[in-house]
Amino acid sequence: MRSIWKGAISFGLVTIPVKVYSATEQRDVSFHQVHRKDAGRIKYKRVCTVDGEEVPYSDIAKGYELPGGEIVVLTDEDFADLPLSTSRRIDVLEFVEDDQVDPIYFAKSYYLEPDGTGSKPYVLLREALEQSGQVAIVKVALRQRESLATLRVRNGIFVLETMLWPDEIREPDFPFLEEDIEIRKQELAMATSLIESMEGEFDPSQYKDAYREALQAVIDAKIEGKEVAKPEAEEGEEPAADLLSALRASVEAAKKSRGEKKPAAKKTAAKKAPAKTAAKKTAAKPRTRKSA
């Protein structure tokens, strides 16, 4: 891996030099736009809408459009002069419980590696943070953008999770939230049963990107000049008559997929019934002897 940023964790009066690495990578199959006729690559020119001339990349700046359509031009120098106190620091602001941070705030994950003489203070903060069971709320500037972030430990390494700002989280404003929707007890019980029947331990290795694999198979077939095999369509199930029936069928399907057998309630009841009858007959005999 190649580091994308160098700086330091600022923890009180302690400074821990670190290198930052992207912790994730997209595995999508990438494509180029090409001419369908001859597979020629499609290229785009940077053309100015005012004079119609092609503009070299070195002459391109960022423009902020005003409501009236006017453009305010900002250069690299304008961005360089902005006061970023965290330009080379990861400032620890406070420590909080992990479950206090809603995952909706998380944006991107990075690994932090100690740099130079930073190994000992790195390990010290890591051990203290792990023992506390908390995460650090920090502020960091990456790629000219200051962000809130959390600092936590994963497999002995600090993971920096950049976060969105509170005003970047949209409020859900959906009409159904104002409706008075009635849920029957049977439906809730069946939905709870469905959740219980699908409980398990999360193991990400058991999941795969089936679409990407199928797409890669199509590409490989074209490279080898073979006929592209179409995947068999899955058989669709008949829709249930009502919600309760759908839930009940889902529970049965979930149990079947896990190899669970249906409880033999009727058989158990049938076996117990004779025992009760026999008990009654046994209890009746002493009374017969006494009356005699």
Q: Which residue has the higher pLDDT, 169 or 288?
A: 169
Q: Which residue has the higher pLDDT, 31 or 288?
A: 31
Long-range CB contacts for residues 208-217, cutoff 8 Å, separation at least 24 = 209/27, 212/27, 212/28, 212/29, 215/29, 216/29
User: What is the pLDDT at residue 8?
Assistant: 93
Q: What is the rounded distance in angstroms from the CA atom of residue 230 to the CA atom of residue 218?
A: 9
State the average pLDDT over residues 94-117: 94
User: What is the pLDDT at residue 241?
Assistant: 65
Collapsing DSSP states into helix, strand and coil, what is residue 289?
A: helix
Q: Which residue has the higher pLDDT, 279 or 240?
A: 240
Q: Which residue has the higher pLDDT, 104 or 192?
A: 104
Collapsing DSSP states into helix, strand and coil, what is residue 285?
A: helix
Q: Which residue has the higher pLDDT, 155 or 196?
A: 155
Q: Is the pLDDT of residue 4 over 70?
A: yes
Collapsing DSSP states into helix, strand and coil, what is residue 272?
A: helix
What is the fold, at CATH topology level, of the domain defined by 5-28+82-168? Ku70; Chain: A; Domain 2 (2.40.290)
Tokens 């025992």 sit on residue: 275
Listed by start position, the domains of the chain span 5-28+82-168, 182-232+241-256
State the average pLDDT over residues 114-140: 94
User: What is the pLDDT at residue 111?
Assistant: 97
Pairing mode, if any, of strands 71-74 and 14-22? unpaired
Q: What is the rounded distance in angstroms from the CA atom of residue 18 to the CA atom of residue 8?
A: 5
Report residue 103 CA to chain centroid gap. Answer: 8
State the average pLDDT over residues 191-206: 86
Q: Tell me the CA distances in angstroms from 123 to 74, 152, 171, one per residue in order.
A: 42, 13, 40
Length of the chain: 292
Q: Is the pLDDT of residue 182 over 60?
A: yes
- Token pair belonging to 31: 């494509």
User: What is the pLDDT at residue 219?
Assistant: 85
pTM, two decimals, is: 0.70
**Phi/psi of residue 171, nearest 5 degrees:** -85, 130
